Amino acid sequence: MFTVPLTENAELRPLEPWQAPEFLEHMDRARAHTDPWIPWATRSTDLDSARATLQGYADRQASDTGRIYGIWLDGTLVGGVMFVSFNTASGNCEIGAWTEPAGEGHGLVTSGVRLLLDYALVTRGLHRAEWLCSTANARSGAVAQRVGMKLDGVLREWFPHNGVRHDKEVWSMLAPEWKAARG
C-alpha cells in the first residue's frame, strides 16, 4: 500500500473495503457534518453498508472509473477525497471530498484535491476535472476556489437530497489551466 504525506502528521492513502469498521467509525463522527451533502453518508450506517460503499469504489477502481482515498490525521481517519467518476474515453472526471470537523482547517482536503487534479490532468492525461457541490455548501465551493477551479455555472434545483432540492454549482479545471498553474 502507498501513502502520500499531506503534512507532517497527515497522509493520504487508499480507502478499501477491509477498512469498513474504521470507515464506519469515521462516518459516525462525520455524519451530521457530511450527510447534508453526500448521499453515501446517509447509506453508510452499519458495517455492511459501509463495506458496500467502499466496495463500490473498489469496483470502480478495478474498472478505472472511480477511486476513493482516506485522509488520516495523527493516525485517525478524518476525511477523504475521491474520483466520483473517471472517464478516460471522454477525458473527464469528477472529484469530490468530505471531512469530519476534526479534519477541517488544516488544508488537508485542498492538498488531497490538488493531488487528484495532478493525477487526472497530468499523469493520466484527462482534459477536464469537475467539482460539483450544493450552493448551500460554502466550504465545498471554497475548496474549488482554492485549487483554482472556475465556476461554470449553477444548475437550479438540480438534485434532491434528504427531501430538499439543491442548486448545484459546477466548477471545472482544464488540463492546460492546471499545467500553467503548476508552472
Contact 98, 41 (CB under 8 A): yes
Give the tens place of pLDDT for each residue, 117-142.
Answer: 999 999 999 999 999 999 989 999 99
Which one is predicted more confidently, 183 or 83?
83
Q: What integer best gives the mean pLDDT of the chain? A: 94
Instruction: Name the pairing type of β-strands 92-99 and 128-134.
Output: parallel
Q: Measured between alpha carbons, how far is 128 from 176 in angstroms, rounded to an integer?
A: 9
| pTM listed for this prediction | 0.94
Instruction: Give the DSSP H or E segment for 155.
Output: strand 150-161
